[in-house]
Amino acid sequence: MTTKNIALVNGVIFNGQSLVNNQALLLADEKVCGIVALSDIPAGYVKQDVEGAYISPGLIDLQIYGTGDDLFSADIHRSAIGRIEQNLLAQGCTSFMLTLATNTLEVFEQAVQVFANANPKVALGLHLEGPFLNIHKRGAHPGELIVEGTIDRIKRLLRGGGEVVKMMTVAPELMHIESIRYLLEHDVVLSAGHSAASFKQAMLGFDRGITTSTHLWNAMSPFHHRDTGLPGAIFSHPSARASIIVDGIHVDYTAVRLSKKLLGDRLFLISDAVARCDKGIYQHVFKDDHYVLPDGTLSGSALSLLQAVANCVNHAGISLDEALRMATVYPADVIGRTDIGNFNSGSWANVVVFDHDFRINSVYFQGERVV
């Protein structure tokens, strides 16, 4: 359904700072026009009664590999991107980084080309989680495909893709400063992960321009009392951020609660979600409420980002407004976007409406109702 001017009313609006009642969210064409008192709704706006539901900016997931039966790395086609986008919109995720784990350089190159030609709107770009990782913290990544992050390899990955590669997870202890500089010059957001870095090595990586870290606690050096490793550097560095998987499996909810107290607004949510797949390098098997490799190794989650928000509220003692910031405001900050993840006038009209049980009521993408 397409309506040019919409006023969402009778809901609890998350405005980025707090949850507010008795106001209306105005959407005009593809953009947000602001939040106003009910008495100030302009003429010509069609009122949509959301019946007491929550109204939030669309959620932003910076690490997701696929949905349903579509694992992008195993089906690198424009049609797969389209299906993943539609599935995520139905979950309230209106912006995401389509992610590929460690693979051959040929697969990465193919993915870059397909993504560039597809020119998707919901997917913001590619997040390459590898292949420049530490084999000792490879997790579900095949060790034989992990390689050194040389300038030549980096140029090969970025070649011909324009600005498609937006993020890259790297092991900071194995990245030469020249490689980091080259990636930063090409506006790639660098995230420390799958790393055995010492505290000193990790701090140096953050000082050199790595700005965030990938799935806190998972596949990284431990927090040891004689060398606090990558987690200690994340907590200590004044600007380092971290993503976290809040499914109660990848990270215990107590660890989520403690991490939140230490990091505050530097901690944000990702789903790290994968899809059922029985072909290629990554064969993900659904097990109860998460995914494993055929040998039982923990792989990706089965989370939606809205479920991660719910888990923060219901299991980790995080308020709803803060949990929503972790899925909207903070990830937008990580990638330097001011036009998504908020209801500022002029931002994209991406909206998720959900009830008090975190069930989707409706979703708007660039002003058009898609759910």
Largest CA distance in the chain: 65
Closest CA to 94 of 70, 69, 123: 123
Closest CA to 213 of 204, 223, 202: 202
Euclidean distance between CA atoms 129 and 312, whole angstroms:
25
| Inter-residue contact 87 to 306 (CB < 8 Å) | no
Closest CA to 344 of 5, 35, 111, 8: 35
Closest CA to 172 of 142, 140, 194, 150: 194
Q: What is the DSSP letter of 180?
A: H
Closest CA to 57 of 359, 329, 323: 329
Q: Would residue 187 show up in a list of annotated catalytic residues for this protein?
A: no
Q: Is 153 helix (H, G, I), strand (E, B) or coil?
A: helix
Pairing verdict, β 5-9 and 23-28? antiparallel
Euclidean distance between CA atoms 320 and 310, whole angstroms:
8
| Inter-residue contact 112 to 164 (CB < 8 Å) | yes
Angle between helices 151-158 and 105-118 (to 10 degrees): 30
Q: Which of 70, 272, 321, 333 is catalytic?
A: 272
Backbone torsions φ then ψ of 245, nearest 5 degrees: -100, 110
Euclidean distance between CA atoms 27 and 364, whole angstroms:
10
Catalytic (active-site) positions:
272
